[in-house]
Chains A and B, each alone.
Chain A
């Protein structure tokens, strides 16, 4: 049981009242005086040179304020590689890429006028498959790749479609395979999928005549939006303010830079009036960034006793037409290529490759759900071949605190997360070793499966956070942090930490709901499950600072040393003599003696945090320490499969994560259930389906995501709490982790149920039926015989 009053308790969200009453403000809810509306013209071709664009007919429509094309905005955008046009300039690179925009008095006028823009295209050969795009004679999508602004940690290959490649090398791979008793090689794949957050992206920008720029964005990271907008458009940083209203789901899709620069430029082109750009759902599906697809080749060498001695991996990420963010997905998947395993000899190459499809960005898990699909299916396949129990096989090879080295050669801290414990706990919950109960119908079968997983924040080594704890006259507190609220609930957990340390009730701590670069403290981005850990550390520092200011004042007034003071019940008091106290309200604005003499001043606690000891990974071997923490976990499931139709039903879905400490168990559960269902949805239903580059399912009728009946009833979140010394109250990040292992766990369960090996996602009924037909036709024949009553 927790010894804390707030930390560790399932307190309700601080934003709950606004959200249940309908008063929470999202970007599209904001209307500014004189605001104009935008519509984008999208390319109908997957790869085409833009010969000429005629805008005069659109301009002539009454109510149209401006019509712009790519050539009006010759800027390149991107977080890691500047490969992205504001609007397609020389070439259109995917079906749906915005090539022109209309700004008008109303959305209806903009919609009408945009149809009147005429674009003459010259079609070019397109390439849709990432592996084909790597071939020598493939059409080149970014001819100027070598000229793009690129962070030096990435390795683009100009003259090819390889936006970047990451190489991981450890030990001696040839020697490793030579020692192996068994070598297993398999290929796995996952398609591109959509974030499908409920709030489609929305941006409002006002580019003032004085050069001042204001942006309202449904964005995860206001500060990086400001930084990248400044850099890309050559606007001084100090002239840009980015406001961050509530975000209606992000999952990585609203990280980095999106359409903010376009909206700023549109405002400038429209007489400095504010301009709103809101994507429709169809635009969201065809314009906004998505999760990359992956093709993986995994070759593993094992000893008879189950020890993995060598692993060689090739990951090919299908980044689509731009890779400005995806290069880091490929990189993160490269350095974590082997997952949470201690393997002495490793060689991995992770390619991020351009194709003429929607472009990829960050997505909850950042390459890790993809790579764990491959390696955790591979682990089960190997265990089967060795005749070993999959839990024992994993237990033998997983990383162990204080002992093991990760793939990048970083030795695990003594207080690192305990993966083996997570593995055992999920195994126990699933009653591993016990046969699943018999399904009601004889043509259904059941199976169990599990997968282990790891991830740390995949971010540059120098990303930082800051926080301010500012007292008000009544000793209430303004907590100022830059982390965004997109559903994850970090603001609530941070508030708990302030209440805990400063002994102020939670309801007296306010985090402004409409925040932004001018009104809150810097944080790099709200991504990579870093918010709770990094912003949390900054909040702890701010707490400490505020507490010491309070004690400094009180020690003068009460004539005791600061060390003898404590905070309790909104008071500062002498330890063991609680009757000698001052209320916080008497202190926090400065203390006034009866005669009028005053000391101190408003208490403002300030805190900063930057991870220390992280390294820029070795460019040739990828060795080094990339992450401030690694969260480990295990996810498992029991499924029932209808052999006749291929339909999969999830009966049980269990997850155990070593998160160090659950600051708020209610929120942790929320993340686990949410991640479980999102991963199940991706595993069973989701895929962007293209035909010659045209997306065939740009809506929720044909892009299926889980609905309430699809969510397993029996979902359990098991919190393992081995605290990490330098985490806030021992906590590690959790947000992304919750979906990383579930797809592979389901793949293992379905494969076990059907006695086949599923290697490709999604496991739609049709794909499962096909796999059974190919790999275990007797099972289908038997099911059909049951149907005949035999």
Chain B
């Protein structure tokens, strides 16, 4: 690791199109920076050595944070985690996201780090990803060709790899408004009070009382090369079976979908165990006495 950052040219465009022009001009030699909390560390390790750093924080449009009934949540690319954490709609409607934000890095880093940045770093351990996966979030991507919406699962292509082209950038994250009775949680296995996820589980439940229309979703971090959502769960929970059987099936579906590894943070076996118990804990917390 170097103390000194590599040399680069710093740009601070005022509009998205100016930022895109810069990206276009410098091709792969440029990178966008939102909070910079991952980027600057990667640059010190010389994992990323961009010749041009395009700071997005001067672009007013990217700083917007809104919630509209019907439209849902729109989170601009430079909205910090703490702004999001303090936003009422997040706490009241997007519980799992709020859980994840609250337990993510620390107060000081959250004053800089952004949600879009967390997603674009595409770490398998990204805490915000599982909540956003269960909320069906989409990512708004801008390029010289215009804007397109990308389903979040399609953003992640591998460990710290995304489907974004070198001339593209994320401008916002859109999270549709969840059903009115939605409840969601994010739980994570940690080594100490502040840690990245050893295993993270986001669980969402809505319309529980109507078995045919019931929505139950599960998504995970740190269990595969990318954050993953387990789609089978929804079908499983619409079966007319005892609660215990449904949970068993959901846990096996999750375990079938994931491919945890052993690394410095955890063994594969412990991850498998955590997937099992955290999934059950999350569902239990959401459903309490209602099941």
Which residues of A are at the interface with B, using a C-beta cutoff of 8 A? 107-108, 111, 280, 282, 644-645, 647, 684-685, 689, 696-697, 701-702, 704, 706-710, 764-766, 769-770, 784, 787-789
Given contacts A282-B1, A788-B280, 9 further A-B contacts (CB under 8 A): A280-B1, A684-B192, A696-B264, A710-B192, A766-B266, A769-B273, A770-B270, A784-B280, A788-B244
* Segment with Cβ contacts to A, from B55-63, B159-167, B193-201: B193-201
CB-based contact B4/A111 at 8 Å:
yes
A788 to B245, CA, bound (A): 10
Contact partners of B265 in chain A: CB under 8 A: 702
* B284, CB-defined interface residue at 8 Å: yes
The residue in chain A whose Cβ has the minimal distance to the Cβ of B263 is A696
A787 to B281, CA, bound (A): 7
* B124, CB-defined interface residue at 8 Å: no
Contact with B4, one of A108, A645, A701, A770 (Cβ below 8 angstroms) = A108
Closest CB in chain A relative to B6 CB, distance in Å? 9
The residue in chain B whose Cβ has the minimal distance to the Cβ of A786 is B284
Closest CB in chain B relative to A38 CB, distance in Å? 12
**Are A707 and B192 also in contact (CB < 8 A) when A702-B265, A787-B284 are?**
yes
Contact with A788, one of B189, B194, B247 (Cβ below 8 angstroms) = B247
Contact partners of B273 in chain A: CB under 8 A: 769
CB-based contact A689/B247 at 8 Å:
no
CB-based contact B264/A689 at 8 Å:
yes
CB-based contact B277/A764 at 8 Å:
no
Closest CB in chain B relative to A58 CB, distance in Å? 15
Contact partners of B4 in chain A: CB under 8 A: 107-108, 111
The residue in chain B whose Cβ has the minimal distance to the Cβ of A689 is B264
* B83, CB-defined interface residue at 8 Å: no
CB-based contact B277/A784 at 8 Å:
yes
- B262-291 vs A, CB cutoff 8 Å, 1 = contact: the mask equals 001111001001100110110010000001
A280 to B44, CA, bound (A): 12
Contact partners of B48 in chain A: CB under 8 A: none
CB-based contact A709/B280 at 8 Å:
no
CB-based contact B189/A645 at 8 Å:
yes
Contact partners of A107 in chain B: CB under 8 A: 3-4
A764 to B267, CA, bound (A): 12
- Contact size class for B? 20 to 34
CB-based contact B3/A704 at 8 Å:
no
CB-based contact B192/A644 at 8 Å:
no
Q: Which of A107, A770, A789 has the most CB of B within 10 A?
A: A789
CB-based contact A697/B244 at 8 Å:
no
Q: Which of A647, A684, A697, A706 has the most CB of B within 10 A?
A: A647
* B64, CB-defined interface residue at 8 Å: no
CB-based contact B192/A787 at 8 Å:
no
**Are A704 and B1 also in contact (CB < 8 A) when A644-B281, A697-B264 are?**
no
* B147, CB-defined interface residue at 8 Å: no
Contact partners of B3 in chain A: CB under 8 A: 107-108, 111, 280
Contact with A702, one of B1, B264, B274 (Cβ below 8 angstroms) = B264
CB-based contact A707/B194 at 8 Å:
yes
Contact partners of B291 in chain A: CB under 8 A: 789
The residue in chain B whose Cβ has the minimal distance to the Cβ of A109 is B4
CB-based contact A709/B194 at 8 Å:
yes
Contact partners of B195 in chain A: CB under 8 A: 704
CB-based contact B244/A789 at 8 Å:
yes
16 pairs, A vs B, C-beta closer than 8 Å: A107-B4, A111-B4, A280-B3, A644-B277, A684-B192, A685-B191, A702-B264, A702-B265, A706-B192, A709-B194, A765-B190, A766-B191, A784-B277, A788-B244, A788-B247, A789-B284
A769 to B270, CA, bound (A): 8
Which 4 pairs across A and B sit closest by C-beta, in order of nearness? A709-B193, A108-B4, A696-B264, A766-B270
Closest CB in chain B relative to A115 CB, distance in Å? 9
Contact partners of A644 in chain B: CB under 8 A: 277, 281
Contact partners of A282 in chain B: CB under 8 A: 1
The residue in chain A whose Cβ has the minimal distance to the Cβ of B189 is A645
Contact partners of B264 in chain A: CB under 8 A: 689, 696-697, 702
A644 to B199, CA, bound (A): 14
The residue in chain B whose Cβ has the minimal distance to the Cβ of A281 is B1
A242 to B199, CA, bound (A): 50
Closest CB in chain A relative to B198 CB, distance in Å? 8
Closest CB in chain A relative to B115 CB, distance in Å? 20
Contact partners of B193 in chain A: CB under 8 A: 707-710
Contact partners of B1 in chain A: CB under 8 A: 280, 282
Contact partners of A280 in chain B: CB under 8 A: 1, 3
Contact partners of A706 in chain B: CB under 8 A: 192
Contact partners of A770 in chain B: CB under 8 A: 270
* CB-CB contacts below 8 Å: B173-212 with A: 189-196
Contact partners of B280 in chain A: CB under 8 A: 784, 787-788
A788 to B278, CA, bound (A): 12
Contact partners of B266 in chain A: CB under 8 A: 766
Closest CB in chain B relative to A770 CB, distance in Å? 8
The residue in chain A whose Cβ has the minimal distance to the Cβ of B247 is A788
Q: Which of B266, B273, B278, B284 has the most CB of A within 10 A?
A: B273
Contact partners of B281 in chain A: CB under 8 A: 644, 787
A676 to B163, CA, bound (A): 48
A81 to B194, CA, bound (A): 41
Closest CB in chain A relative to B45 CB, distance in Å? 9
A245 to B261, CA, bound (A): 46
The residue in chain A whose Cβ has the minimal distance to the Cβ of B270 is A766
The residue in chain A whose Cβ has the minimal distance to the Cβ of B271 is A766
Closest CB in chain A relative to B102 CB, distance in Å? 12
Closest CB in chain A relative to B5 CB, distance in Å? 9
The residue in chain A whose Cβ has the minimal distance to the Cβ of B289 is A789
A706 to B191, CA, bound (A): 10
Closest CB in chain B relative to A298 CB, distance in Å? 28
Contact partners of A710 in chain B: CB under 8 A: 192-193
The residue in chain A whose Cβ has the minimal distance to the Cβ of B196 is A701
CB-based contact A645/B274 at 8 Å:
yes
- B1-12 vs A, CB cutoff 8 Å, 1 = contact: the mask equals 111100000000
The residue in chain B whose Cβ has the minimal distance to the Cβ of A644 is B277
The residue in chain B whose Cβ has the minimal distance to the Cβ of A704 is B192
The residue in chain B whose Cβ has the minimal distance to the Cβ of A646 is B270
Contact with B191, one of A709, A764, A787 (Cβ below 8 angstroms) = A764
Closest CB in chain A relative to B3 CB, distance in Å? 6
Contact with A111, one of B2, B192, B274 (Cβ below 8 angstroms) = B2
Closest CB in chain B relative to A63 CB, distance in Å? 13
A685 to B198, CA, bound (A): 14
A744 to B1, CA, bound (A): 36
A702 to B277, CA, bound (A): 23
Contact partners of B247 in chain A: CB under 8 A: 788
* CB-CB contacts below 8 Å: B236-261 with A: 243-244, 247
A645 to B1, CA, bound (A): 34
Closest CB in chain B relative to A37 CB, distance in Å? 10
The residue in chain B whose Cβ has the minimal distance to the Cβ of A790 is B244
A644 to B279, CA, bound (A): 12
The residue in chain A whose Cβ has the minimal distance to the Cβ of B195 is A704
Contact partners of A707 in chain B: CB under 8 A: 192-194
A696 to B196, CA, bound (A): 16
Contact partners of B267 in chain A: CB under 8 A: 766
Closest CB in chain B relative to A3 CB, distance in Å? 44
Contact partners of B274 in chain A: CB under 8 A: 645
CB-based contact B277/A765 at 8 Å:
no
The residue in chain A whose Cβ has the minimal distance to the Cβ of B278 is A645
Contact partners of A784 in chain B: CB under 8 A: 277, 280
Contact with B277, one of A111, A689, A709, A787 (Cβ below 8 angstroms) = A787
Closest CB in chain A relative to B29 CB, distance in Å? 19
The residue in chain B whose Cβ has the minimal distance to the Cβ of A711 is B193
Contact with A645, one of B2, B192, B244, B277 (Cβ below 8 angstroms) = B277
The residue in chain A whose Cβ has the minimal distance to the Cβ of B199 is A645
Closest CB in chain B relative to A490 CB, distance in Å? 31
Contact partners of B2 in chain A: CB under 8 A: 111
The residue in chain B whose Cβ has the minimal distance to the Cβ of A773 is B273
The residue in chain A whose Cβ has the minimal distance to the Cβ of B187 is A645
Closest CB in chain B relative to A419 CB, distance in Å? 32
A647 to B267, CA, bound (A): 16
A108 to B264, CA, bound (A): 31
